[in-house]
Amino acid sequence: MHKVVMAVALLWPVAGTAEDVVIAALGDSLTQGYGLIEAEGFVPQLQGWLEDQGAEVQLINAGVSGDTTAGGLSRAAWTLTPEVDAMIVALGGNDLLRGIDPGVSRSNLEGILQAAQSAEVDVLLVGMQAPGNYGPEFKAAFDAMYPELAEAYGAVYAPSFFEGLGEAASDPAAAVPFMQPDGIHPSAEGVERIVEGLGPYVMDLIARTGD
């Protein structure tokens, strides 16, 4: 993920109706759409996919390139405005790149979930898995924090941002057609597949807001 922190551009809904579910997508460069024109990014493509499913929804792009879980925690409170009904949390990749202690990352994610809970906002927590080069203890702690926190806070849980890529998600050679030249950020086609994978989880999140 791009390590240079960029100013966040919050696309607050301006054409929504009273029935629209407003969802903030809190994340890093993967959420922000690094390297792509705006229409090809994760949030606009997800917006279109959800609308195709008949969902009345407006998404806020709260992704900041280079952000860690600590950065997400620092932004959570002011992202959770009264208009926000639900939140997608997709953070942790930059924590991995920096080798941050999983205990620290877990505490930050828990703080975000607590902020959402206080605001009575439902959450979709998107997990990820650490590579083996950090050692088995690091990997076990990192991988487990997402499902454990999702269960503890009653969040919808998606195992991986890249689930929609199928086998290519774990095979760098197979993933090439879906990635930008840096091998880290998805191409427009990659984002399309990612959205198809995550979309059903977001639909579950939307359903919860009506409960």
Catalytic residues: 29, 182, 185
Cα torsion angle, 186, 188, 194, 195, sign: positive
The answer to whether the beta carbons of residues 26 and 76 sit under 8 Å apart is yes
Nearest to 61 by CA among 43, 48, 39: 43
Q: Where are the beta strands (DSSP E) in the chain?
A: 21-27, 57-63, 86-90, 122-126, 156-158
